[in-house]
Structure 1
Amino acid sequence: MLIIDRFEGDWAVIEFGRKTFNIPKVLIPPGAREGDVINIYITLDRESTGTRAETVKRLAEELFED
């Protein structure tokens, strides 16, 4: 269970079990308050990952040209 512990500036402090972590406040739904339980869903964006890998490869090739 993920619980909003508090807000600190631009960050939301999230409680997860006995640990806490910060996420940007802009990712929290509007109107959420301290003590609210939230759900987070994470998905992979394979298309963007592939595009990014191609860009990094191209830049590395340009950087290390003979």
Structure 2
Amino acid sequence: MDEKCIVDRFEGDYAVIEYGRITFNIPRLFLPKDAKEGDVVRFDIRIDKEETKMRSEHINSLADELFRE
């Protein structure tokens, strides 16, 4: 896929990103401080399996405590 994520503009605390014919907003703080209109940006989104497991275990522990009565 040749589509690129391009910073179209900034609106307040958000950056408007173009991806082909799609546009979406992301918090400006997710971009490098020197990002500017027209820059091509890359996103590296991964699942943090370890953190997900820890959160799931914590929620299960809270549910167990709540329904123990």
What is the TM-score with the length of structure 2 in the denominator?
0.86
Partner of 1:25: 28
Partner of 2:53: 50
**SS of residue paired to 1:13:** strand
Question: Which one of the candidate residues 7, 11, 21 is aligned to 1:8?
Answer: 11
Partner of 1:59: 62
Aligned residues: 66
Structure 1 stretches of 4+ with a deviation exceeding 6 A read none
Name the CA distance, whole Å, in 2 between partners of 1:62 and 1:17. 48
- Give how far 1:27 is off: 0.9
Note the alpha carbon deviations across 1:4-30, whole angstroms, 9 max, x for none. 011111111111111111111111011
Task: Specify the code of the residue in structure 2 equivalent to 1:14.
Answer: I
Name the CA distance, whole Å, in 2 between partners of 1:60 and 1:22. 35
Name the CA distance, whole Å, in 2 between partners of 1:63 and 1:13. 43
Whether 1:39 aligns to 2:52 is no
Superposition RMSD in Å:
1.1
**SS of residue paired to 1:32:** coil
Give 5+ residue unaligned stretches, structure 1.
none
